[in-house]
């Protein structure tokens, strides 16, 4: 659909090898993913795009190790990490998943605490990442005292604080209003440019996918398979004005037609 683009080095960072997943019992099994294989390059910003129920979030949770697969392997930096958590992966959830009894600082420091990092060091690291996401001054605020966008910034800081090599983002802006989502997309691109992480990002939004990604993997309706892969041609850095260009709008329309064609009616 487009000319080749992207920021990846070309070296494989993550390999998803023939992953399959069903829910339910053997007699009433519901296939969600079927023989899904994909290689993600180092420093690549890859977006998974597809209809509801196609297995995008399930795949992300399998990569993170918080959900098991029925078949297949997850290989990170040449190591089999299937079914294990941590080990270079950080997750940002749509529903924020913050501990309501912890301050912003303590939420960000949580993963470091679990890893056994001392209090002084983890506090310093947490402050660094709170500053990175623009929340200096809110270190001691509790989640109920923060807006949705601010809570998601805390979630991003928490995932980054453990210094993952792969950042997994499961529709992180899906619950936010359009204005806040657009603002956080720009902030994420700035953070990504500074932090240089491999990112796998799940979304339903074609516009969001085109704005953020080096590559877009368009998934079929359940069971999730790869319909096609799109190399996004737009240069970086990107800003909102690109969304109104003919090239952006034409590619958006092309992807929408492709999704409509494969959708169940």
- Give the tens place of pLDDT for each residue, 222-263: 899 999 999 999 999 998 889 999 999 999 999 998 887 766
How far apart are the C-alpha atoms of 15 and 37, rounded to whole Å? 7
Please tell me the class of the 12-88+164-262 domain: alpha beta
Mean per-residue pLDDT over the chain, rounded: 90
**pLDDT above 90 covers what percent of the chain?**
76
Over residues 38-64, the pLDDT tens digits come to 999 999 999 999 888 899 999 999 999
Q: For position 125, what pLDDT does the model report?
A: 97
Ramachandran angles phi, psi of 209, nearest 5°: -60, -45
What pLDDT digit, counting tens, does each position of 113-172 carry? 999 999 999 999 999 999 999 999 999 999 999 999 999 999 999 999 999 999 999 999
Q: What is the pLDDT of residue 258?
A: 82
Total Cβ atoms within 10 A of residue 181? 19
Per the CB < 8 A criterion, the answer to whether 94 and 172 are in contact is yes
Arithmetic mean of pLDDT, 191-211: 94
State the Cα–Cα distance between residues 200 and 38, nearest whole angstrom: 12
Find, among 104, 118, 87, the residue nearest to 14 by Cα. 87
Sheet with strand 71-76: strands edge to edge: 30-41, 12-23, 71-76, 79-80
Taking 70 as the threshold, does the pLDDT of residue 5 lie above it?
no
Which one, of 95, 111, 99, lies nearest residue 144 by Cα?
99
Q: What is the pTM of this model?
A: 0.92
Phi, psi of 254 (to 5 degrees): -60, -45
The tokens describing 108, both together, are: 């960000």
**Would you kindly state where each structural domain of the chain is located, as residue ranges?**
12-88+164-262
């Amino acid at each position: 659909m487009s000319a080749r683009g992207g920021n990846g080095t070309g070296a494989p960072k993550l390999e998803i090898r023939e992953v399959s997943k069903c829910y339910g019992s053997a007699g009433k099994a519901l296939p969600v993913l079927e023989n899904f294989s994909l290689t993600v390059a180092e420093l690549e910003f890859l977006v998974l795009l597809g209809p509801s129920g196609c297995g995008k979030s399930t795949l992300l949770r399998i990569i993170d190790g918080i959900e098991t697969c029925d078949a297949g392997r997850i290989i990170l930096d040449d190591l089999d990490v299937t079914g294990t958590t941590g080990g270079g992966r950080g997750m940002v959830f749509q529903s924020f998943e913050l501990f309501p009894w912890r301050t912003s600082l303590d939420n960000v420091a949580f993963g470091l605490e679990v890893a056994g990092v001392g209090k002084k060091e983890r506090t310093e690291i947490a402050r660094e990442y709170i500053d990175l996401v623009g929340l200096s001054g809110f270190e001691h605020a509790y989640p109920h005292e923060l807006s949705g966008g601010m809570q998601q910034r805390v979630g991003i800081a928490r995932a980054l604080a453990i210094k993952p090599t792969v950042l997994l983002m499961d529709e992180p802006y899906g619950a936010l209003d359009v204005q806040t989502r657009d603002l956080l997309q720009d902030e994420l691109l700035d953070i990504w440019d500074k932090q240089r992480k491999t990112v796998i990002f799940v979304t339903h939004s074609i516009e969001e996918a085109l704005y953020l990604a080096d590559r877009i993997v368009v998934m079929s309706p359940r069971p999730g398979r790869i319909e096609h892969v799109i190399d996004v041609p737009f240069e970086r850095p990107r800003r909102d004005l690109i969304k109104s260009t003919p090239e952006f709008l034409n590619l958006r329309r092309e992807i929408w037609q492709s999704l409509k064609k494969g959708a169940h009616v």
